[in-house]
Structures are given as C-alpha cells and as structure tokens.
Chain A
Amino acid sequence: MRSCRVPGRGRVDASRPVGFTFDGRRYQGAAGDTVASALLANGVHLMGRSFKYHRPRGPVSAGSEEPNALVGTRRGPGRFEPNTRATVQEIWEGLEVTSQNRFPSLRFDVSAVNDAGYMLFSAGFYYKTFMWPRGFWDKVYEPFIRRAAGLGVSPTEEDPDTYASRNLHCDVLIVGAGPAGLAAARAAAVEGLRVVLVDENAEAGGTLLSEPQVRIDGRPAWDWLADELAALKGLGVRIMTRTTAIGYYHQNMVGLCEKLTDHLAQLPADTPRERLWRVRARWVVLAQGAIEKPLVFNGNDRPGVMLAGAAQTYLNRYGVRVGDRPVVLTSHDSAWYAAFDLQGAGARVQAIVDTRPSVREDLLHEARALGILVKLGHTATATSGRLRVKSLRVNPVQGGQVGSPVTIACDAVLMSGGWTPSLHLFSHTQGKLAWDEAQTTFLPAETREDCVIAGAGRGLWGVQAALEDGAARGREVAAALGKDSAAQAPRVQGDRTGTGVTQIELPTDLNAGRAKAFVDYQNDVTAKDLRLAVREGMHSIEHVKRYTTNGMATDQGKLSNINGLNIAADALGRPQPQVGLTTFRPPYTPTTFGALANYHRGDHFELTRKTPIDAWAEAQGAAFEPVGQWRRAWYFPRPGEDMEAAVRRECAAVRSSLGIFDASSLGKIEVIGPDAVTFMERMYTNPWAKLGVGRCRYGLLLGDDGFIRDDGVIGRLAADRFHVTTTTGGAARVLNMMEDYLQTEWPELNVWLTSTTEQWSTVALNGPNAAKLLAPLVEGVELTEDAFPHMSCAECTVAGLPARLFRVSFTGEIGFEVNVPSPMAMQLWDRLWQDGQRYGITAYGTETMHVLRAEKGYIIVGQDTDGTVTPYDAGMGWAVGKSKPDFVGKRGLARPDLVAKNRRHLVGLLTEDGSRLEEGAQIVFDPKQPVPMTMVGHVTSSYHSQAVGRPIALALVEGGQDRMGQTVHIPMPDRTIAATITGTVFVDPENTRLKIEA
C-alpha cells in the first residue's frame, strides 16, 4: 500500500505507528490519526456505501459533520458501535473497523443496483409506495428496502461499559476552543470567574490546528497555541477536550458528552466510557466556527471528492496528502489556499476551477507563480471513476450558456461552496436567526439566553477577526458578570481571509433530470429530488425536508441544510428567509444511549419496591409480577406445578381452610385533623359522618368527571383519624389528588395527609379458619362475630406486635388484614405461618387474589374500569352517598352522557362452550353482521374458577344490566364464542361465608 503521508507535516507522531484493521485488512497509521486520516494516509478513500443507492463513498469532511465515512468500530465482545464517524474516531493499536451498508464487500456491492433504480427512489418514494396495493408492498417493496436500506447494524450484545453523569456550575461556558474560544476564555478568566472551555476534538485549537502558517504575536501558531493553553490552565480555566456540547437547554443549561476511553488502546480500570455533564452556566459563549459547504454538481459524491478545507486539515493537521493530482473546484477564495498548500506539499494541482468570472488578483498571481492552471467562470458537470474519482468534467459558462466540456484527469476533487456559521446550539434554545444577503447565510440575531456568539459563528472570517471577536465577547461577558477585563487579542500574520459567492446546483449542459448532484450525502437526496418535491406541492421547507428526507440523517444536515434551502428557495422563486430554515434539535452529534442513560440502567433503571415479605416469598420459589413499581408474589408453585395448577391449589386452600397473602403494597394514607371527616365526605362518594370509630367501609373515589379513579377500604380509627387504603398502583395518584383538593379547593379544612404505605405492612388472612388462627394471637379485641363483626377495625396487639387490625374480605371468606410496622412484618408473618400449619396455611399470590375476588364480583380499578366507568356502570350505585350535598364527582355523575341509556355496564359472562375468554376480547351482539362489526364492549377479567368449576369472566357490555340472560358473541381469529350475560357474583351471593361461627 502506497503511503500518502507527507514527511514533516501534521501533528501526528510518525515515530509511533499504530496498527488497526479495516474490513479485516491490517493498516498502519500514526499516533494522533483518526480512522479517516489513517486510511487516507494509506491511499484509501472508499470507506462506505450510501444509505439508499449504496454508492461508493469516501470522507467528504475531516470533522464531526461527516455524512459519508460512517463505520463500525469494535473492541472485543460487546463493544461494537455502528455509524461511528471515521473522521472523528481516533485510532489505537488493535482497533477493528468495518465498513457498512455493503454486501458482500465494500468494493463490490450487489445492492448498488439501487443506484440504477435511481428513478424509483426519488423524492416522496416512501409516501408514494405506501399508497400502492398492499400486496405489492409486502411482497416486493418491504423485503427490498429492508435489505437495501439502513445504516450500520445495531449491536446485539449488552454494553459492558459504564457511563457517568455529573453536574457542573460555572460562570462562563465557552463552546469551541478555536481562536475565538481561546481568546474569549483568556478575556473572561479574570477575578476568579469560573471559566470552562470545551471542544469536541481530541485537542484544543480549532482552525489553528489546520493553519500552521499563521504567526501569532510573532510566533508560529502551534507554539502560541501550546503556550496559550498552558496560560489558560494557569488562570484556572477548565479545558475539556473530546467533549461535545450536545444540547443547549433553557436558562443556560448545556449538556456535554465527554468521551473518556474511545481513543485508548488499554481501557483503564474503573473509568466510564463517557460522561454526561449537565452544565448550568451564568453566561455561554458559542465559538463553534463554521462548516464548509459542498458544491452541488453531478457526481459530487465519488470517493476522492471532498471539501477543500478538509483536504487542508488532512495535510496540515494529519500530514496526509489526499491526492497527488487534485483539482480544486470552488466558488470561494478559501479553496485557493487548499490548492496552494497541496501544491506546496508535493501534489500537482491539475487546475483551480472557480465558478466566479473573476477573483482577487493576489490569488491569481500566486496560482500563476505555482504553475497551477486556473479556469474562471466554469461549472462542473460530471465526474468519473467507480471507487475513486478519475476525472472532472468542466465547462465554461458565459452569459448563462454552458459551453463545451473539458475533462480533467485527477485523483481528488477539492470543493468549496463557502462557509456556513455553525448555529445549531444557538437554535436549540430558540435563538433567532437573521438572513444575511451579503453572505447568503443565516447569522445569529436575538436570544433570550445569556449567550453571545464569537468568531466565524457570526460570519467573521480569519484568525485575526476570530481572536479579536473572541476577546471582545469575553470582555463583554466578564463585564456582565461585574468584572473588568482588559484582555486584547494578539496580532496575527499570514492570515487567510476571503469571500465567495453562493451557488445552487451548478449549471450543466447534460440532462439535469439524470444528474446525481447530491445535496444530502447521508440520505442520498439530490437537487432533482428537492425540485421534484417543490413541483409536487411542498411549499414549506419543513414539508420539503420530510418529503425528501433532506437533512434528516444522523448528521442533521450540517452540510446539506443550507444548500437544500438555497435550491428550494430557487425552485419556489422566493427569497430564503421566506422559505425558512428547519429547526435544529439536540443532540448536536449522535450521542450514545449509554451516555444519556448513564447510571440509570440495569437495576438502577427503575427502582423495584419490595415488601418485607419479598425475601421469604423468593425463598419459597414464588413467581413475581410487577405491579406499578412493586414486585409482588404472583403465585407459589410447588415442584411440578405450573401457574394454573398452583393457582387452583391456592384458591382451594383459601376457600376450604386458610390462605395468607402479602398485601403490603396496598397504598395507605393517614387522614388526620379536626376536619378529617368533612374532607372524607367531600373526597369519597360514600357517607363517612356516621361511620363509627372502629368501623370501616369500602370507599370509592371519582374524578370530578364522575368516573371511578380508585377504591379501597377505609377505617375510622378515631373521630379525627382515618386509615385510607388505595390500590397498589394508585397510591401516589390518590395522595396527589387529595393534596390538590385540600390545598387549592378547600384550604380552610384543617386536615393533614400522610403517606404511610411504607410504614405499615399488611398481612391478609382469608379462609374459614382465619379467625381461629388469629384469635389467640390478638390482645385487646375479641374476634367474635358480635365483638368484631365484618368491616370492623381496631388498634390492638397481634402476636405481641402493635397492630391495626381490619376485618375485611376481598375473597368472600372470613378475612383479616393485619397492619404492623414494616420492620416487624416478617416477625408477624413467621408466627402466622408457624401457627397456621395446623390449618394447612397456604401462601397465595396476586393471581389467586384476582381469581377469588372475581368470583365475588369485586372490581379491580384499572382492569374492570378504564377511566370511563361510573359507579352505576360498575353496579356500585350503593356506594354513592346521594344525599350528600357534594363530593368529588357528584356533579359529574349528572352529566348528560353519564345518565344516558345504553352505557356499558359491568356484568358477568359465562361461555356456552365452557371455554375461557381472553381478557380484552371485543364483544358483539350480532356475530353475522359484516366486518367491521359494531363492538359493544369487552372482556375485562377472565379466569378459571375452581369454586364454580368452570371459567368465569367479567365484561363491560352496552346496556348489560338490562340484558341478563341474553347471549353475546366474542369473535376470535379462529372462531366466535357465545356467552351468556350474568350477574357479577359467582360465589356465595348471600355472603354467608363471611360469618364467624360461634
């Protein structure tokens, strides 16, 4: 492999070779190289295939704006990253790099036939195709697109790396450590101001790294840079490299992603791969420079066609000559210097082709002195070369007429269409842009943030201008923070400034409709696509963008947005500001999910709440299910039992003798105060004023719209104290709702609300033997039918532990809920478990609880209700205190829709063939009606009932309470099931089983 390294050039350390592989082949680069610079140093331009047409592509830039050179990188098992920009990724010994979007190989790709199908994939392709016959889509298009399109493949293994996050508060955050940022830092670092300077590159310096010819304060740029960085550190400036400002959020919060290990051959111990910083800065200085614009012409995407500034960076920063016989194609002065630099580095520049009819005399003079052919007033109309550009076809343009072509042999085309200020971050927080007609670009205008822009970001060109503007902005910010800064910018010699003109797609003598003049390289959008979109009626830039996908790839249109806008504006015949610019959104560059998630992964992704009984249940081999944030024991299988068998056994045990259930996750709210009863009267549907101390009642909570929100048993422990229970998932919501009404509607009520869910753990005992087990353990209450009837509550002692004892039943059997302080819950459970052995005590989980309650027709809020169910719909009109003047939801219940006929009612369903229905299945009255059928309800709960000896179900059915005994139908994919409407109580409708026998 031929070396394109230029001895004595660049900042890479040629004495420290670094080996890496690309598609399995071994290459050697130098310390300081990126993947792109190292491959270019080996003469490799072909680095990937494009997204849609699979066209061969090489790097077009040398920075984070790169749309083409996306690669996969691997560092052993689990450490694979797709879509890494080769222009940013630093090489290290052993790095494995693979190309993407190619099959079977990068040099020969079968899907490149897409390229031949160019006309098929034009603008709006996806939208148009979706409207074609569906069968065509399934059989032809989708398989084709799936194989053909797509970026790199997702990693399949779990990421073994760790990611961190930190907060940082500072006085001044400066984004971009080029000349403007450095000067701003120097000016702002006065009188103890905390200044942070960040840059996405591996080293600070920005353009200075690519412009060694500049002399600053009489010294070579790189010497000045090294001293200046040392001086800034000495002033206390925190300099963070490999750190990208990914997003600018309200009130000067900036997100940074710091890459810590991706450039290292050996991973240091205990170091995160990346760290996400949340910076809150009093002032922000954006010194992000500008991004060079490609020229839009037929064949502008072949490997070897790249931005002129990138070629300069490869030469001056990395010591790589990107071509021996380059052609420069430009509409801006800056590319002329690229020609001069390459010529000076041993290349033979074939020509400088400028679209402008005249250019500055000094440029012409220097080109002549270097013996470079100059073609002014020319356009480029084609390139040749399959895997690397071989020639450029250029034509003179005179009076709008494209003349005869000349073909120039070359091995690189270095293009420049001028420069675009990088204002992505500025736009993230609604910074307004103003169109600058002279520069044909948007410049920053107002922002509500405490933010200033320095240097090329506001259209100032050259190192001197950047340094001066940076210093001025730094002084401005220091002054705003009450500090006096006198810093002045140093003097610059050898600066290169220039101007240019803005081009839309270059004029051509060929068929423009067949031109592959790319605007968005990554999404393969051409000038023709944009014009087609406008012709097809897309008149807003937002529509053009979505129709063509211009600017919607992972580079967010860093190279393509402004060219896209200029072409769309031309097609629309309207000036650019009237067409508008699409909105930039965070993140500035693709950011790993790892960095965004940082610590919140695995066990820390979401907390799992466990009851004090959880460890016991786990030791018993329980299966668990998540309920809200809680992990609850679902069922307790014995060896050889599946879920169904375990639940049958658990159900039978409760109905025949005794079951024990961990109900600790039930929400609990203590309502205390002189006005507690008034508050309860207003919150819940039920009447509470007459509920005696030591009694409890099933409470129903509605929204003011009249629909059921939550339910639970509520005990009155004292005249001014209620123990409220809520559903497991509803606890926080109910407390919020109570607080809302208490604080904002009834602030005059003297009531305190306290969540006690975590403080009390609840053990439920259910079954004919429940009272027998519990009675001997209880002190202070006699557990007889007379002394402690159903729906009683008491503060007492159970097994020697302070307890709140409730006699309630969610199963239809004799039931108790024993609340003890959570640290004592396991002690209580152990004692009950031990003493219960004589009754064959059986632990049951949530599934059995669900079956047993369904057999009794007790609802689960959120399962049998869905936010549109009233107490009357649910058959619980008895829970509504109709004589109360007001409660939350009372007026709502009188709304016209809620009193209308034919509402969906909760009913029981028994299938005629004895099969078990699926929860969620839709119900119809007439199974013979044409599709789509009129759906009249759905199945909400369905179980096999051990007690009834058949499956039972609950369902919401239109007018169900008036349709008892009628048949409804449940159409399923394979058959239609008939079911009879019944009442909701399947077991012991007279509640005889609740009585404790004397």
Chain B
Amino acid sequence: MLLIHCPYCDETLPEVEFTYAGQAHVVRAADPSSQTDAEWENFLFIRSNPKGPHYERWRHLHGCGRFFNAVRDTVSDRFLTTYKAGAPRPDLSSLQGDRT
C-alpha cells in the first residue's frame, strides 16, 4: 500500500485515506460553448496512458478533503511528487521519487 504526501496537510499518510481522481491538468475551457466538437471530445474522453511518469489528480478524501496533483510513475506505482491544485506542472527531470 502506497504512502501519499498530502500537500495541504503536509503529512505522508496511507493510501486508504485518498482517492484517485483522474488525469491532472485537463483544463475545462473557460467558455465551453466556443469549443469545437473535437476539442470537447478531447477534453471529455482523451487521456494519456504513459509508461512512466503520469500527472494525476488525487483527493485526500478521508482527511482534509482537498484535491491535489501528483506525478506518479505507472511502472513502479510510486509517487514522484505531489503539489497543490493550481500549481504549475513540475519539471520531470528534477524528480526522482522518494525511496520511502
């Protein structure tokens, strides 16, 4: 079972306190009505499926309740980092994951 760092609580806690909430940085357009069908389809359905670092959203559901973002390696399953919603995408080259 993974240990996850909540960037709001600033604590590393067991996975059971958290829920996965899909890919991160999928932006809902400010004016959806101006989106083409292809753009809206992309927003709704098209997701990346990388082997390696993946930007994703998690929620500290059984804790502070906040949504936050994470980079997680889909091969090792490990979290490389977590950061607050709204913060910019971290640079992958600077990440090497916790060993614990």
Contacts and interface: CB of A to CB of B under 8 A. Distances in A.
A743 B28 CA distance: 13
Interface in A222-261: 249-253
Interface in B9-57: 15, 21, 28, 31-33, 35, 37, 40-41, 43-44, 57
B33 A896 contact: no
B93 interface: no
A886 B32 CA distance: 7
B90 interface: no
A250 B78 CA distance: 8
Given A251-B100, A747-B85, A890 B1 contact: no
A894 B33 CA distance: 9
Contacts of A250: 1-3, 15, 77-78
Interface in A912-953: none
Interface residues of B, number: 28
B99 A450 contact: yes
A543 interface: no
Contacts of A736: 59, 61
A147 interface: no
Nearest to B37: A896
Contact of B1 (A249, A282, A892): A249
Interface in A716-772: 736, 739-740, 743-745, 747
Contacts of A252: 100
B66 to A, nearest CB: 7
B37 A895 contact: yes
Interface in B40-90: 40-41, 43-44, 57, 59, 61, 65-67, 76-78, 85-86
A253 B85 CA distance: 29
Nearest to B76: A448
A704 interface: yes
Contact of A743 (B35, B67, B77, B100): B67
B79 to A, nearest CB: 10
A430 interface: yes
A253 B77 CA distance: 14
Contacts of A892: 40, 44
Contacts of B65: 739
A324 interface: no
B76 A744 contact: no
Nearest to A704: B44
Interface centre among A251, A430, A743, A745 (most CB of B within 10 A): A251
Given A747-B85, A890-B32, A895-B37, A430 B76 contact: yes
A391 to B, nearest CB: 53
Interface in A665-716: 704-705
Contacts of B21: 740
A75 interface: no
A891 interface: yes
Contact of A891 (B1, B35, B61, B86): B35
A886 B37 contact: no
Contacts of B59: 736, 740
A743 B85 contact: yes
A133 interface: no
A896 B35 CA distance: 13
Contact of A704 (B1, B28, B33, B86): B28
A891 B67 contact: no
A894 B86 CA distance: 29
B28 to A, nearest CB: 5
Nearest to B97: A448
Number of chain A interface residues as a range: 20 to 34
A766 B11 CA distance: 51
Contacts of A896: 37
Contacts of B33: 885-886, 890-891, 894
A250 B65 CA distance: 24
B67 A705 contact: no
Contacts of A745: 28
B44 to A, nearest CB: 6
Nearest to B57: A744
A739 B60 CA distance: 12
A188 to B, nearest CB: 17
A251 B99 CA distance: 8
Nearest to B28: A745
A794 B3 CA distance: 47
Contacts of A253: 1
Contact of B67 (A251, A450, A704, A739): A739
A48 B83 CA distance: 58
Given A253-B1, A740-B21, A747-B86, A448 B40 contact: no
A253 B100 CA distance: 11
Interface in A273-318: 278, 282
Contacts of B61: 736
A754 to B, nearest CB: 11
A249 B77 CA distance: 11
Most buried by A among B3, B32, B37, B61: B32
B100 A450 contact: yes
Nearest to A742: B67
A704 B85 CA distance: 20
A439 B41 CA distance: 55
Contacts of B57: 744
B67 A740 contact: yes
A743 B68 CA distance: 9
A407 B27 CA distance: 78
B78 A448 contact: yes
A844 to B, nearest CB: 36
Given A250-B2, A250-B77, A895 B40 contact: yes
Given A430-B76, A891-B32, A891-B33, A251 B2 contact: yes
Interface in A428-454: 430, 448, 450
Nearest to B4: A251
- Give the interface centre of A278, A739, A744, A892 by most chain B CB atoms within 10 Å: A744
Nearest to A253: B1
A891 B40 contact: yes
A740 B33 CA distance: 21
B35 to A, nearest CB: 6
A307 B14 CA distance: 43
A705 B44 contact: yes
Nearest to A886: B32
Contacts of A895: 37, 40-41
A704 B15 CA distance: 28
Contacts of B28: 704, 745
A251 B3 contact: yes
Contacts of B40: 891-892, 895
A149 to B, nearest CB: 36
A743 B66 contact: yes
A430 B78 CA distance: 12
A251 B1 CA distance: 7
A952 to B, nearest CB: 36
A252 B99 CA distance: 10
Interface in A168-213: none
Contacts of B3: 250-251
A908 B89 CA distance: 51
Contacts of A740: 21, 59, 67
Contacts of B32: 704, 886, 890-891
B8 to A, nearest CB: 10
Contacts of B100: 251-252, 282, 450
Contacts of B66: 743
Contacts of B35: 891
16 contacts: A250-B1, A250-B2, A250-B3, A250-B15, A250-B77, A430-B76, A450-B99, A704-B43, A740-B67, A743-B66, A744-B57, A744-B67, A890-B32, A890-B33, A891-B40, A892-B44
Q: Which 4 pairs of residues, A with B, have the shortest CB-CB distance?
A: A891-B32, A250-B2, A253-B1, A743-B67
Given A885-B31, A886-B31, 6 more contacts: A450-B99, A740-B21, A744-B85, A891-B35, A895-B40, A895-B41
Interface of B: 1-3, 15, 21, 28, 31-33, 35, 37, 40-41, 43-44, 57, 59, 61, 65-67, 76-78, 85-86, 99-100
